[in-house]
Structure 1
Amino acid sequence: MCGYMLLKWYCDECGAWYTSDEVKVKDCETFDSTGECDQWDLVKEEESDAGGLCDDCTREHDADA
């Protein structure tokens, strides 16, 4: 599995995976001997696989807590 998956967490409320850091790594298809990605596609904003922003989901969670 690509190492960058460790940067993501699943939001049950939003039903999507979100990044846990400011930098999201996408489309990792090439791995080296350590299992890390050889190529990184960095995104400056946190995004979810559902197309929303991580912050939007986090704010909803904070309001529910």
Structure 2
Amino acid sequence: MEILPPEFYSFLKLSAFIGFFSAGVMTVGICYKLYKKFFGEEKAKKYRKYFFWVNIPLFFVFLYIFITLF
């Protein structure tokens, strides 16, 4: 006997995946903000696209973690 319906578990999995990805994006955003604070606005603008491109492999890392856990 299950307490919750199976549809609810798929909702939990989706919520966990979105949470993993948003945590990764937030981490990269904090790193960018600290980089801008320590190295200045001009240098941060130069490397902004690299901080964005870090999110793509990070997405696949968190996707792998999600698939492995669930």
Query: TM-score of the superposition, structure 2-length normalised?
Result: 0.29
Of Structure 1 and Structure 2, the greater helix share is in 2
Larger radius of gyration: 2
Query: TM-score of the superposition, structure 1-length normalised?
Result: 0.30
